[in-house]
Amino acid sequence: MEGIAYLETPVGELEIRSRGDFITTVGFLKERKEPEQETPLTEQCRQELAEYFAGSRKFFTVPLEADGTDFQQRVWNALLEIPYGKTISYAELATRLGNLKAIRAVGLANGQNPIAIIIPCHRVIGQDGSLVGYGGGLDNKQWLLKHEGALADQLNLF
């Protein structure tokens, strides 16, 4: 059974898709909506995401199944190990996977993550601390990291 649901969030509307017993997609809505086909799993995912955005959830429990190559699966599994409120660099992520020279491939796989927010690709930043690359937009990446307490609010003097 396939399901589809939508959730309005502070970072825009999200599309949630399920197949069988797994969430397969959480993406930023960019195209016209299809009719919702709610399932217990899409409802659970929508609830967990709503709790995350409300600040009451730091861990997700919905079962995930992201379609991708073996390498992409390794990268996405490594992303799941980045704790809430923490960031790592692309170089550190490549090192964790055992190959610093694969930094570009890691960045590409990170950018192809089909389950945004739950598989926290937004927690990967540039080695110099800069916010680089995010399919949902850098403003949303910044919002998510601030929401998690990974970025301190800067005092604007000007």
Catalytic residues: 121
* Cβ partners under 8 Å of residue 34, min gap 6: 4
User: For residue 115, what is the DSSP state?
Assistant: B
User: 122 forms bridges with which residues in the sheet?
Assistant: none
Contact 25, 117 (CB under 8 A): no
